[in-house]
Structure 1
Amino acid sequence: MESQTVEYKSDIPIKSNPFKAEIVAFLNTNDGTIFLGFDDDGTLIPEKIDQYKQWESWISDWIHSAFNIPVQKFVTIEVSAQNFAIHIKQGDKPPYYYKDGEGFNSKGIYIRNGSSKRRATDDEVRRMLKAQVANEFESEPSSVQKSLTFHYLQDKLLDNNIVFDSKGLRLQNIDNQYNNGALLLSEQNSRVTKIAVIDGLDMSADFLAKKEFNGSLIKQIDMTLEYISLLNDRRVSFTGAAARLEHESYPSKAIREAVINAYAHRDYSLSADIKVEVYDDRIEIFSAGGLPDGLSVADIKEGISAQRNPNIVHVLDKINYIENFATGIRRILASYKDFDKEPMFIVTPNQFKVILYNRHYAVVDDEKQGWVNNNLKKNLSEAEQLELGFTLQDSLLENDTMVVGVKQYIDANDEKIIKILTLNGDKSRQEIQDYLQESKTKVHQRLTKLIELNLISKRGQSRAIVYFANANERK
């Protein structure tokens, strides 16, 4: 039966362009096979067997000269006593089209649609052309050549006992020109990463922090991972015999895979920055460009891979940031196997978004939102609870005397102060006051209390005094 990947044809018509269009449709869409000498139901037509030799000669000529570029590496012919099959792989540089005179032939661009072909629309052709530019961007010569430096990359290579070799790392071509991949990995990289931490569930809420990282792509990866780690709260439970288990808000493995994939596979021909938005209940990671080579989310969940930036992936592999086994998405999903909300992957032609859900966040009684720890928190001392970040919103166990004790020290605005200082570094009293919109006296009381609880500290004198989170100081 004919399908997205199978086509039956009884013969090659005298006017051969419709048959060439069938080959083009597979080249532009997906792998498939055309069985020649069969009726529409897939039944062999015995009298066609005598034409096998002629068909093989024609098609062998076509794959070298009938299309806009030679396609012999994508098309193979399988001929046996009672079978003539043309196996076609999806091409890596669409759009493909059959020739009809000289120059671009938009009428010859076809795609596969179910069990038949159809002519590609203008928008589909534009997307193919745009994807081709994206896939070739990193290997094109860079506009910046003489002033590129690679100090951060060199340090990472030395950590892995690898000597910096620009050609071995695919950063230069045979003419000693740096490519765009080299520029992205250099200190002169102009692309940035933007991170926003939102005090709520959507963009209508206040911002707790905004950060922007620049420099080498690898440096941006490191800084992004380090910054997100500040937000990745850990909760403790007991399994008996005083054994502790730590539960992260977000699995570290999922964060690492999602962040590195965003840099490794994004479309650098687009000007959009990598963005990370952190809400109370989730992290959203945005990278420019859809999936390469026509892949779908279902494909990548099954481990099917395609590399948009093979040179960058090669470098990341050298420094042990990435594995070339198409396992990233599956690792993200596996890290959430015991959680009721699976990570989401949202794809548009211009963007790939990953959503990771906070495993400590819960909505209670339709109104009350907060952090919930259902384990044996009562086994922790009050000091341990404070050290581990268990505050007023960390539990809804109202009758727990330990929690009542914590409540008298910490409220929601105290938590915001700690979070602001953790995410932003040093802040003055006035800056904290401006955010909380409270009186000078009230903010001073809060800061004094948090210092007494050893959650924050201060440095400087008089008007130069600033406050910082003790967790930052330990780092």
Structure 2
Amino acid sequence: MNNILISFLLLNGLVMESQTVEYKSDIPTKHNLFKAEIVAFLNTNNGTIFLGVDDDGIFLPEKVDQYKQWESWISDWIHSAFSVPVQKFVTLEVSAQNFAIHIKQGDKPPYYYKDGEGFNSKGIYIRNGSSKRRATDDEVRRMLKAQVANEFESELSIIQESLTFHYLQDKLLDNNIVFDPKGLRLQNVDNQYNNGAILLSEQNSRVTKIAVVDGIDMSVDFLAKKKFNGSLIKQIDMTLEYISLLNDTKVFFTGAAARVEHESYPSKAIREAVINAYAHRDYSLSADIKIEVYDDRMEIFSAGGLPDGLSIADIKEGISAQRNPNIVHVLDKINYNENFATGIRRILASYKDFDKEPRFIVTPNQFKVVLYNRHYALIDDDKQGWINNNLKKNLSEAEQLELGFTAQDNPLESDIVITNTKQYVDANDEKIIKILTLNGDKSRQEIQDYLQESKTKIHQRLTKLIGLKLIDKRGQSRAIVYFVNANERK
């Protein structure tokens, strides 16, 4: 809202007090009460305090004579009355009928007004609706923790010796970049490594955990568990590669000549969500990156809320903030991100033709992205093949055979068809393929123990999958193991 419009609305009493607007007729005798109003905005959100107006925002002409005194007091305060000078966040706008104090949210809360020497917890206020209130101890702790989180990667590392960067160096060479610790912001002028350097080294102690769940909640068994460690860049690569094994592609036919391949999860959405989880997480917290893959969705967890008081709405509008600018800088160098704060908007755009939009769930200690499986709504074990009768009757017998249509197929009432090479594969057959894909070689007994079916039934399933060239086996007698066919893995 521009200043001319604000002044017009004020003169006509059309602006109400709110989270971003406060009215004051005068500066109180106890100046700290007014300083607390400024602090509340510094700690919470951008806003404006209008002086010389009544509670309804109506201009009080008798207060104009005090404008000069107010301006002098406030100009002194913003340099010396708060925990740090705040002139870059506070600006005054003074005219014949308007005295406005425009305040931006500070980048290193908590802010407080001074009352003697040292830390003044009683001077820490936050904005709550159309008024201020003193911050609770928990809120102060969260603000302090957030400040630590935003500075963590640039602080000097307690480990300075024996750091290796082989994986990062290979990535840089792929992009014709020479490994330069200072240029990559991993060392200071005294050749000392920061915490960001440890995260990108082979000595990084943080890990990534992935769980693949056989169902839609944690009440059922895991199909697979994985843990990746080492350099942050290596963990990103291994995570994306592993998740790609779960990202099935189905083929849609909308007419005899129209073919569209459709992934369970848009690859772009996965890549953006995963890289953002590493780039923007709070590394001062000990929690690991965690990914849970269910039948109907994928949930990606990273430690820490949004930096610098941002909201999801802010990010959707393109407003950005970086908790780990040094790591983002390195990722940008090796082309892992574009450094333009477009991640969430890209994720949403990749789901624009799907009826369930990705979810972003934020708490002070965690950021979670939920991506939905676009094939889940199409799964029905009793209706194999997903045949479109209108399309089928327009195809020759040879074309029907090529697409996998059979005489026994039951057509569905739909204008869209989905077919794939697994026409004769039921839900438990799919689980065998997924178990082998995610875990590598397995014996018949291990597969039988998981599916809880008879030895004969498992043998029939394995024989069928080998016949369809979806899996293969090697070894002899009790040493036989089964594995996913190389073409199927692709």
Shared fold, TM over 0.5: yes
Measure the CA separation in 1 of the matches of 2:382 and 2:152. Answer: 45
Letter in 1 for 2:129: G
Measure the CA separation in 2 of the matches of 1:210 and 1:385. Answer: 34
Measure the CA separation in 1 of the matches of 2:387 and 2:42. Answer: 54
Query: Residues 268 and 346 of structure 2 are in contact (CA less than 8 Å); yes or no, is this contact kept in structure 1?
Result: yes
Letter in 2 for 1:207: F
Pair 407,236 (structure 1): closer, same or farther in 2 beyond 3 Å: closer
Measure the CA separation in 1 of the matches of 2:454 and 2:191. Answer: 62
Pair 99,461 (structure 1): closer, same or farther in 2 beyond 3 Å: same
Pair 357,404 (structure 1): closer, same or farther in 2 beyond 3 Å: closer
Query: Residues 36 and 112 of structure 2 are in contact (CA less than 8 Å); yes or no, is this contact kept in structure 1?
Result: yes
Partner of 1:459: 474
Measure the CA separation in 1 of the matches of 2:273 and 2:383. Answer: 25
Report deviation, 1:15.
Answer: 1.7
Query: Residues 404 and 419 of structure 2 are in contact (CA less than 8 Å); yes or no, is this contact kept in structure 1?
Result: no
Percent identity for Structure 1 against Structure 2:
85
Partner of 2:352: 337
Report deviation, 1:217.
Answer: 0.9
Pair 152,105 (structure 1): closer, same or farther in 2 beyond 3 Å: same
Partner of 1:307: 322
1:105-254 pair list within 5 angstroms: 105-240=120-255, 242-254=257-269
Q: Secondary structure at the match of 2:245?
A: helix
1:102-161, Cα deviation, whole Å (9 max, x unpaired): 122111110111111111112111111111111111111112211111111112222222
1:398-437 pair list within 5 angstroms: 409-437=424-452
Query: Residues 235 and 373 of structure 1 are in contact (CA less than 8 Å); yes or no, is this contact kept in structure 2?
Result: no
1:32-70, Cα deviation, whole Å (9 max, x unpaired): 112222222223333333333322222222112111111
Partner of 1:15: 30
Query: Residues 94 and 129 of structure 1 are in contact (CA less than 8 Å); yes or no, is this contact kept in structure 2?
Result: yes
Measure the CA separation in 2 of the matches of 1:213 and 1:262. Answer: 15
Pair 372,92 (structure 1): closer, same or farther in 2 beyond 3 Å: farther
The counterpart of 2:100, out of the listed 85, 92, 113, is 85
Q: Secondary structure at the match of 1:354?
A: strand
Q: Secondary structure at the match of 2:36?
A: helix
Say which is worse superposed, 431-440 or 195-204, in terms of deviation: 431-440
Measure the CA separation in 1 of the matches of 2:345 and 2:145. Answer: 28
1:419-452, Cα deviation, whole Å (9 max, x unpaired): 1111112222332232223344443333232222
Q: Secondary structure at the match of 2:68?
A: helix
Query: Residues 384 and 424 of structure 2 are in contact (CA less than 8 Å); yes or no, is this contact kept in structure 1?
Result: no
Partner of 2:39: 24
Query: Residues 250 and 420 of structure 2 are in contact (CA less than 8 Å); yes or no, is this contact kept in structure 1?
Result: no
Pair 33,403 (structure 1): closer, same or farther in 2 beyond 3 Å: closer
Query: Residues 299 and 371 of structure 2 are in contact (CA less than 8 Å); yes or no, is this contact kept in structure 1?
Result: yes
1:247-396 pair list within 5 angstroms: 247-362=262-377
Q: Secondary structure at the match of 1:143?
A: coil
1:65-80 pair list within 5 angstroms: 65-80=80-95
Q: Secondary structure at the match of 1:435?
A: helix
Pair 198,375 (structure 1): closer, same or farther in 2 beyond 3 Å: farther
Report deviation, 1:462.
Answer: 4.6
Report deviation, 1:404.
Answer: 13
Q: Does 1:96 align with 2:115?
A: no
Measure the CA separation in 2 of the matches of 1:8 and 1:56. Answer: 16
Q: Does 1:443 align with 2:458?
A: yes
Query: Residues 456 and 467 of structure 1 are in contact (CA less than 8 Å); yes or no, is this contact kept in structure 2?
Result: yes
Query: Residues 24 and 53 of structure 2 are in contact (CA less than 8 Å); yes or no, is this contact kept in structure 1?
Result: yes
Q: Secondary structure at the match of 1:227?
A: helix
Query: Residues 185 and 216 of structure 1 are in contact (CA less than 8 Å); yes or no, is this contact kept in structure 2?
Result: yes
Q: Secondary structure at the match of 1:362?
A: helix
Partner of 1:37: 52
Measure the CA separation in 2 of the matches of 1:81 and 1:351. Answer: 48
Report deviation, 1:96.
Answer: 0.5
Give ranges in structure 2 of 5+ residues lacking alignment.
1-15
Partner of 1:389: none
Query: Residues 362 and 371 of structure 1 are in contact (CA less than 8 Å); yes or no, is this contact kept in structure 2?
Result: no
Measure the CA separation in 1 of the matches of 2:418 and 2:64. Answer: 83
1:265-287, Cα deviation, whole Å (9 max, x unpaired): 11111111111111111111111
Measure the CA separation in 1 of the matches of 2:289 and 2:305. Answer: 13
Pairwise CA RMSD = 3.0
Letter in 1 for 2:438: L
Report deviation, 1:202.
Answer: 0.7
Measure the CA separation in 2 of the matches of 1:408 and 1:263. Answer: 38
TM-score (norm 1): 0.90
Letter in 1 for 2:103: I
Query: Residues 41 and 103 of structure 2 are in contact (CA less than 8 Å); yes or no, is this contact kept in structure 1?
Result: yes
Report deviation, 1:384.
Answer: 5.5
Measure the CA separation in 2 of the matches of 1:403 and 1:236. Answer: 5
Q: Secondary structure at the match of 1:231?
A: coil
1:204-259, Cα deviation, whole Å (9 max, x unpaired): 11111111111111111111111111111111123445342101111111111111
Say which is worse superposed, 15-24 or 126-135, in terms of deviation: 126-135
Report deviation, 1:458.
Answer: 2.2
TM-score (norm 2): 0.87
